[in-house]
Structure 1
Amino acid sequence: MQIRPLTIDGAWEITPVQHGDARGLFTEAFKSSVLSEAIGHPFELAQMNLSVSAAGVLRGVHFADVPPGQAKYVTCPSGAVLDVIVDIRVGSPTFGMHDTVLLDDVDRRAVYLSEGLGHAFLSLADGSTVTYLCSTGYNPSGEHGIDPTDPALGIDWPTTGRDGVPLEYELSAKDTAAPSLAAAEASGLLPDHREVTGYLRSLAERD
């Protein structure tokens, strides 16, 4: 298993080793020791989510209040999605910037994003299945969103799917109504970089 930091501090790409033969394949999709060494503290699993999306479905940008926030370990065991991590931490050197990773059933990569970061993805194939290992459970009052098509984010969403067919984006009503990055910042909705850093430091010191 290989793990490399992304351009957004607090996010990593994980590439597993796949062992295949005539029967199929086997891979270690998650390894606590490898991840914990990279992030500096154990990843406490509280909930696992699974979504299935048609081609063109766009989910996000989602984030949670810190503390406690919600760290995520995201994989796509079937299909393909363009996964996007957005730095929404006010005061961060990379505030408003993003990084992308193709998650699919070929390379079987995963991404880990720590508390305080925004997350979104676009399904590139019908039936794309995404699993999320989450550090905290669902808390509707503490979870928020930003418009994934906000020009200020500069996300170059693909216009064609994995099969080459043009995509027609489909968002939930909640994501469609989500505020822009600037509006979310002005309303005080976004996490503060110093507060997030302090919280993550406390997790490392606790363990």
Structure 2
Amino acid sequence: MNVIETSLPGVMIIEPKVFGDDRGFFYESFNAKAFAEATGVKTEFVQDNHSRSAHGVLRGLHYQIENPQGKLVRVTVGEVLDVAVDLRKSSPTFGQWTSVRLSAENKRQLWVPEGFGHGFVVLSESAEFLYKTTNYYTPSAERCVRWNDPDLAIDWEFEGQPLLSGKDQAGSLLKEASLFP
């Protein structure tokens, strides 16, 4: 696999080795040993999640203040713009964000460590989004920073108003949010 560092230390783009011919393709989407060797991250995933969303759906920016989750994310149908935001107040990159296009075609993955908010917007007609987490979903610990927070000024590469859940519409501003130390 090829690992590409982003502007946020610890957030990495993972490009798997894809073997393809006229019949289709094969790639190993996760191998704990290879992942640890390539990224320096030794972790155990405890949960796999799969969502399907229509064009213009924006999910995020989500995180768990207790039982924080590292996430390894990928898209198997369609394309999204995936965003990670550093929510660790003691970090030199606090409040900074990075983004990457993930698609079924490019087969890229993004590693989002604990302490980061995460979200995505669907750029294609629809998208199927898969992610592994390092901790279990804890509804009482879930938090959301507003996707359009002016202090973050994220470029979602999307024109118009995204489709949001009630939870995402009610997200906190960064300056009012519960954050990591």
TM-score class, shorter-chain normalisation, is over 0.9
* 2:26 equivalent in structure 1: 26
Q: Is the 8 A contact 2:123 2:158 kept in 1?
A: no
* Within-5 A mapping of 1:1-207: 1-66=1-66, 68-159=67-158, 167-184=160-177, 189-192=178-181
Identity of aligned residues (%): 39
Query: Hey, which of these two has a bigger chunk of helix by percent?
Result: 1
Aligned residues: 181
Pairwise CA RMSD of aligned residues?
Answer: 1.4
Find the aligned partners of 1:145 and 1:10 in 2 and give their Cα distance: 21
- Extract unaligned runs of 5+ from structure 2: none
Which digits, 9 at most, give the CA deviation of each residue in 1:155-195, with x for residues without a partner? 111235xxxxxx541011001011110111xxxx1001xxx
Work out the CA distance in 2 between the residues paired with 1:182 and 1:38.
Answer: 35
Runs of 4+ in 1 over 4 A off after TM superposition: none
TM-score (norm: length of structure 1):
0.83
- Counterparts of 1:178 and 1:50, CA distance in 2: 22
C-alpha distance in structure 2 between counterparts of 1:12 and 1:32, whole Å: 16
Structure number with higher strand proportion: 2
- Structure 1: runs of 5 or more not aligned: 161-166, 193-207
Q: Secondary structure of the residue that 1:95 maps to in structure 2?
A: coil
| CA drift at 1:35 | 2.1
Report the structure number with the largest CA radius of gyration.
Answer: 1
Distance 1:15 1:118 in 2: 22
C-alpha distance in structure 2 between counterparts of 1:34 and 1:10, whole Å: 17
